[in-house]
Every structure is written in C-alpha cells, then in structure tokens.
Amino acid sequence: MKKLNVALIFGGKSGEHEVSLSSTASIYKHIDKDKYNVFTIGITKDGRWMYYEGNEENIKNGEWVNLANKNVEINLVPVGNREVGLVFEDGRVEKMDVLFPVLHGPYGEDGTIQGLFEISQIPYVGCGVLASSVGMDKLVCKKVFSQIGLPQVDYTYTTKWSFNKNEDQELNSIESKLKYPIFVKPANLGSSVGISKACNREELLKGINEALQFDSRVVLEQGVNAREIEVAVLGNDEVKASIAGEIKPAKDFYDYEDKYINGASTYDIPANISDEDMENIRQMAIEAFKGIDGKGLSRVDFFKDKETGEIFINEINTLPGFTNISMYPKMWEATGLEYSNLIDRLIDLAIDAKK
C-alpha cells in the first residue's frame, strides 16, 4: 500500500507558538511512519514558512528555525501550471495528501489558515473555516451555545473602544451584571493566555487591561466554585465523545503555565462523577461540536458547580493541545483509542471530509 504524504504544519505567529512546538514533537514521535511520509513545515513567530527535515527534539526546542532548508519552496496555492506541494532544489515535487495543522491560537485555530487549506484543495485535519472561527471567538461561541440551549454561566463583555472611552462606566456595568469573583478573558485566544481571576475592582481593571493586550474584545464570566470537566470529541457526521476527565488545578484555575510548563495540576480520567452526569456531559459535548459545524476533533470544557451540582459548558477548543500531558489524547486513550491510532483516525477523517 502506498504511503500517504502528510505535512505537519506547526509554530505560527500566536502566543501559543511554543505549545505548538511541543504538540508537533509529540505527534511526529508517535505517527506511524510505516503508513505515512511525514513532512514538517514550520511557521516562525514573524510568519515565515520554512521546510524542516529532522528530529522532533529540534522542533520542540525551537532549533528547527536554524536548521530549516530555506531552498525548498512551499506552494499550497494552485497558480497557473505550478505544482501544489513541496518543490525541492532538484525540481522534485512532493504533493501532500493531507495537511495536519498543529497550530493553536490566532492564525492557526481561528479559521484563517483553514481558508488557505480550502484554497489548496488538499484534505486537512480538523475543523473548517466556520467552526474554527466560531470556536476561537469565545463571545460568538457563547451566543451560538445560547441558541442551541446549552447551559452557561452568566457573562458580559467589553471592547477596547468602549473601555478606553469610559473606563468607570464599563466597570460599573460589569459589576452590575456579575458578582466577584469574575474571570476575565480575551475573546480570541486559547490555552488560558491572558486570562485572569478578579476578586475586586482593582483586579478587574488590571485583568481587563491585560486581556486587551491580546484582543480588542474581552469576555467577563461569573466565577463559580466548580470542578473542571473536559471531554474529547471525534468525528465528522458521526461524532463520538470520549470518557470525561477532570482537571484538578494546582492554582485558582488551570492556567497556561500549569497546562504546558510545570504540569503541577492533577487529573482524573474518568472523572469521578455519576453515570448520569457523565452521559449528560458527553451528549452536550457532541451537541456543541455539531452546533458549530465541527469536523475532525475538538475538546469541550465544562464546569460542574460544587454546591448545586449544575453543569455549565465553558468553551470548545477546535485544535486542542497534543502534548504528552494534554487531556485530549489522554481521554481517548482511556476510552480505548491509543495515541498513534488516534492520529490515524484524524487523518482518515480529513480525507473523508473531502469526499
């Protein structure tokens, strides 16, 4: 059987560049190289695309930038008679059968690069343009979830223009709608970048100013004393949900440092919840995924109120972390789908989506 040419596309201009490197190194290590010819295409922090051929350690530590072959042309746009694929110095062209983006955050998870992939007409892993952009935008996604009828914590939002115009008025408005503690989040960012917890007006002001460094809109959510439950979903038309897992943050909440650097938080897979709650959460995850027209994969995050037992959907991540401590592959592993087989399934789904 002929091997498929698979291009892992990693790095990118977002604040989650290093997360992408770790995820890509892990995928490269575990992908079945008897089935696939694996090509690695890195995007630098300033947006330059370069072909790298080497081991995963140099991807993870960032050395790939210095080792990249700058003479290989990366052509993903069909123009005239030019071949779509990788054009090597000797004139050889390697056409890609599947593009596998491992790009978290803006420019990689928000529908922008998915638009390029659509133009390339090459099958690609993960959600399409619409689902990616909706899933990335926390504010728009909340409105979609409301339309579907999924339960959420109370929330409001502010914009850079409104906040700069009348800071006190915006703070008063937020405080009239929500009680402390309040979670402050940039509307378009992932991996807990720019997120803070405010317990008073001073912290709220600081948190909003911090979030506005990353986006022009800021989502404010009612803080709840809750357990953090996550579910992995997989599929195109037929969608399945994994066993749910529970994150036990080492701090007040599961932040960027804990997710990708020190790994101090612990987790339970499966989550220690009732069978009824488990089924309810898994079903809501599938509804959320279908509601944004998801394809391939996503991780859906929930809150379970410690006092009332209520379950709220938090957000959906259309390109979740794939590092060795990431919940998405771990939850599927606990459900019976091993890491390398999960990669196979994602590639199959990418091809099926284009049939």
Q: Kindly give the parts of the chain with pLDDT less than 70.
A: 189-193, 250-264
| Buried b or exposed e, range 24-49, using 16+ CB within 10 angstroms | bbbbbebbeeebbebbbbbbbeeeee
The predicted structure's pLDDT at residue 263: 56
Instruction: Could you list the residues known to form a binding site for ATP, using ranges.
Output: 138, 183-185, 191-192, 221-228, 314-315
Q: How many angstroms from the chain centroid is the CA of residue 255? A: 14
63 is catalytic: no
Tell me the per-residue pLDDT of 105-116, one tens digit each, with 9 for 90 and over. Answer: 889 999 999 999
Beta carbons within 8 Å of 100's beta carbon, 6+ residues apart:
6, 7, 8, 9, 27, 124, 125, 346, 347, 350
Instruction: Could you list the residues known to form a binding site for Mg(2+), using ranges.
Output: 301, 315, 317
Q: List where CATH 3.30.470.20 sits in the chain.
A: 135-151+224-353
298 is catalytic: no
Q: List where CATH 3.30.1490.20 sits in the chain.
A: 155-222
The predicted structure's pLDDT at residue 260: 47
Instruction: Could you list the residues known to form a binding site, using ranges.
Output: 138, 183-185, 191-192, 221-228, 301, 314-315, 317
The predicted structure's pLDDT at residue 254: 47
The predicted structure's pLDDT at residue 16: 85
The answer to whether domain 4-124 has CATH 3.40.50.20 is: yes
Tell me the per-residue pLDDT of 97-139, one tens digit each, with 9 for 90 and over. Answer: 999 999 988 899 999 999 999 999 999 999 999 999 999 999 9
The predicted structure's pLDDT at residue 304: 97
The predicted structure's pLDDT at residue 253: 52
Q: List where CATH 3.40.50.20 sits in the chain.
A: 4-124
Architecture of domain 135-151+224-353: 2-Layer Sandwich (3.30)
191 is catalytic: yes
The predicted structure's pLDDT at residue 258: 52
Which listed residue (16, 109, 170, 246) is catalytic?
16
Which listed residue (20, 22, 26, 326) is catalytic?
326
Which listed residue (191, 196, 242, 298) is catalytic?
191
The predicted structure's pLDDT at residue 324: 74
The answer to whether domain 155-222 has CATH 3.30.1490.20 is: yes
The predicted structure's pLDDT at residue 177: 97
